[in-house]
Amino acid sequence: MLRLPASSLLLPALNVSLAIVRWDFAGLAALATLATVALLLATIRSSRKSESVPRHDRRRRSARGRPDARAALALVGDALAATHNPRALVPVILDVVTEATGASGARIVSDGEELGWIGEPGGRNELRLDLSADDETTRTELVLYPPPEGFASDTKQLAEWLAAQAGIALENARLHDLVQRQAITDDLTGLVNRRRFLEVLETELEQAARLGGSLAIVLIDLDDFKGINDRFGHHSGDRVLEALGALLQHHIRDIDLAARLGGEEFALLLPEIASSDAVHVAERLCRSLSERPIAWVEGNALSSTASFGVAHYLPGDSGEDLLRLADDALYRAKGDGKNRVRVARQGRAA
């Protein structure tokens, strides 16, 4: 994916760096910076050829207020290594590249959709530079619009170097963002996973304790889910889980959080909500599941019910306390016949 110059100058640095890179979030961030630095070294070597131009040409370029190739490359390298957020990189790229090349304006366009612009885009003789990775199906371009005097040949070459570096940074940022989202998201339902749910629960508990706010959690477990898998197959079971995830998202507020904890067990985190309102949310979901099929697979109507356990935060409760209380209430709902809501209060299931 990354096309690094086959230069003997880069090999020792790359070998040492790759030996210490860990393949986690920090590892991807390190690779992004490594790619930036490697390309920077290679392009600086190439840019030395431009340093042999007559002194008066260099003065003219300095008088126009643009940095030389080495300064521009160092500037864009520092800027692009500072963030791994794809959305944040777009304005950085536009700002740095227009500053370095003296362009009157610039745009970044992906398959015809404008991702960002700066200056005065428009006019003729624009310079189009490809930012797409080799394996991308979409085409992303950096479009530079020339100043009144146009782009000099060495400026065009500088723009190509900067675009190559920007393309690598964008691809690494995209991969970094993808891996981060995969680490906190359940692949099947698109809800957050257990790990992320517990992280957000602790954050909300700290805020509730500090500000005196309210908080409730709801644990949800599908009733007799194994029977769906046994009768219709695991593919149908997956469709039911997906449908339940969509139903949860439909019934909660923007500030709420829905999660799949594992298997057929789901959870809701409901900040700033009264205990009675949290119960109403669970009861509404319970009715929605029992009143109509949750999914249709190959002409088969798949129906399911669920049991619900609700726990409301009281001062001094920990995340573990709330989960235990909600779990106790959930299993009381199971024991009382399923397809119902039970509530835990003050350490007791009610």
Residue numbers annotated as active site = 264
Residue 81: closest CA among 91, 70, 92, 72: 92
- Look up residue 326 and give its two tokens: 């909600």
Q: What is the largest CA-CA distance in the chain?
A: 90
H-state helical runs in 102-256: 153-184, 194-211, 225-232, 234-251
Phi (first) and psi of residue 29, to 5 degrees = -60, -40
Residue 220: closest CA among 277, 173, 258, 189: 258
Q: Which residues contact 27 (CB under 8 A, 6 or more apart)?
A: 21
Residue whose pair of structure tokens reads 């040949």 in the numeric block: 153
> CB–CB of 182/150 below 8 Å?
no
End-to-end CA distance of the chain: 58
Identify residue 15 by its one-letter amino acid code: N
DSSP three-state, residue 226: helix
